[in-house]
């Protein structure tokens, strides 16, 4: 319970944390953050795991800003295609959108009007091309 979750969802390991000193053959003292001030900083070596990775790629938790509801907004990068579907009384235009942090296979079709209202900068190149021709 000490690290926030109980049972199956509790983390097996937390960290990485810097080793301050070796106490004896089997014990180490760690440099723990202020949030873990209630945890004793000395650990048996069997409780520790070697941190494999590039320390320069570790993002400090202070820099990561996650909203309370754990949501994020997808950002479109480009419009890949456009199509107009004809129904009985009207025509509906859709655009194929490539989203940031998504693969090309995961593009989506969105309503063109809604995308123009929210992301008008993606359509500026299309308007310039129409003026030139």
pLDDT of 6-55, one tens digit each?
A: 667 666 777 888 899 999 999 999 999 888 888 889 999 898 888 777 76
Alpha-carbon gap, residue 109 to 88, rounded angstroms: 21
At residue 130 the predicted structure's pLDDT band, cuts being 50, 70 and 90, is: low
The helix, strand and coil proportions of the chain, stated in percent and rounded to the nearest 5, come to 25, 30, 45
Q: Which residue has the tokens 């008008």?
A: 120
Query: Residue 54, SS3?
Result: coil
Residue 126 clears pLDDT 70, i.e. is over it:
no
pLDDT of residue 84: 93
What local confidence, expressed as pLDDT, does residue 34 receive? 87
**pLDDT at residue 128 greater than cutoff 70:** no
Q: Is the pTM of this model over 0.75?
A: no
Q: What confidence score (pLDDT) does residue 17 get?
A: 87
pLDDT of residue 1: 45
Report all structural domains of the chain as residue ranges with CATH numbers, in order of start. Answer: 12-57 (no CATH), 76-132 (2.40.50)
List pLDDT tens digits, range 70-120: 777 788 888 888 999 998 888 999 999 988 877 777 888 999 999 889 888
């Amino acid at each position: 319970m000490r690290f926030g979750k109980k049972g199956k969802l509790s983390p097996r390991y937390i960290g990485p944390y810097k080793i301050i000193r070796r106490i004896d053959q089997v014990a180490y003292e760690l440099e723990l953050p202020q949030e873990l001030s209630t945890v004793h900083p000395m650990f048996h070596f069997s409780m520790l795991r070697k941190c494999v990775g590039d320390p320069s790629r570790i993002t400090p938790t202070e820099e990561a800003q996650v909203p309370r509801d754990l949501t994020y907004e997808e950002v479109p990068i480009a419009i890949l295609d456009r199509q107009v579907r004809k129904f009985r009384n009207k025509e509906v235009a859709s655009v194929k959108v490539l989203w940031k942090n998504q693969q090309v296979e995961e593009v989506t079709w969105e309503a063109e009007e809604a995308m123009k209202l929210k992301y008008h900068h993606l359509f500026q190149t299309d308007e310039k091309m129409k003026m030139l021709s």
